[in-house]
Amino acid sequence: MVHARKGKPPRVGDNIVFRRSLLGIVLVLVALMIVAPLVVIAVEAFSRGAVYFAESIADPDTRHAILLTVITALIAVPINTAFGVAAAWAITKHDFRGKRLLTVIIELPFSVSPIVAGVAYLFVYGLQGLFGPVLQSMEIKILFALPGIVLASMFVTAPFVARELIPLMQAQGRDLEEAATSLGASGWRTFFSVTLPNIKWALLYGVVLCNSRVMGEFGAVSVVSGNIRGQTNTLPLHIELLYHDYNAAGSFAAASILACLAIVTLVVKVALERQGAGRVQRPAALAGADSIIPETKP
């Protein structure tokens, strides 16, 4: 047992019994809430054998759901990445009216239920919505099609990249960018030579989280997709559909793909953190600033 220092009260957690009890509670909760569901998914996915598992994954509707999920991620993640970088750059490197309002708006998707976001898109792009009649006259289909799925996915994942970059870029300040500008560097060269090397790990971390959420999004997509089997069902929606069809083994087989994605995301997250995600690397930044100094002839 660790004894408190003389004249000072003991700190919370100094007692070895308390520490072990706390650790035991945490391990039990982790086993019940995280490990057990993953084990159940793996067991149920192979409950009818590996052949049935392979057949479930190879089913045309399942393959289409996987393909639609991948396509949605390939569209939504790069757009949200560009948006997050631009928003973080504007908020941290420039002063303008409405900066706090912009920050609040970026955080808004975290406060709004995905279901509410999906319903809002119905009132904007639906046939009875704000732009519905105009879109219908132009034969442009947003809802119950890929564009609506992408828009809903972009809404719920919009803050991920910006939220990772803004605190880091605020901590780094503006000195290096201002120095680069004073040395004659253009805005793009300043970004690629000075800013990007300092935010690359946080940027990758935000992209990983954004991609994981896009592929696993259910609420907003379920509203705007129409749940059309083999057409507008993403993988999470297809899993629910299989379960409602009493195809539990097929449902868990499809769910195992998302479970594997979650594990891969966790591994990448840990790897990025080990590489220094979100940390300021002052020497590297200075090297980047030095690299943009124009050469002068003697």
Domain map of the chain by residue range? 46-291
Q: Is the pTM of this model over 0.95?
A: no
pLDDT in tens, 131-185: 888 888 888 888 888 999 999 999 999 999 999 899 988 888 888 877 888 888 7
pLDDT in tens, 16-48: 888 888 889 999 999 998 889 889 988 988 888
* Contact present, 250 and 266 (Cβ < 8 Å): no
CATH of domain 46-291: 1.10.3720.10
pLDDT at 14 over 80: no
pLDDT in tens, 87-128: 998 898 888 888 889 888 998 898 888 999 899 999 998 888
Confidence of residue 63 (pLDDT cuts 50, 70, 90): very high
pLDDT in tens, 189-236: 888 888 888 888 889 889 988 998 999 889 899 999 888 888 889 999
- Contact residues for 198 (Cβ-Cβ < 8 A; gap 6+): 168, 172, 176, 280, 281, 284, 285, 288
Confidence of residue 12 (pLDDT cuts 50, 70, 90): low
The pLDDT assigned to 11 comes to: 67
The pLDDT assigned to 87 comes to: 92
pLDDT at 285 over 80: no
Which residue bears the tokens 């793996």? 42
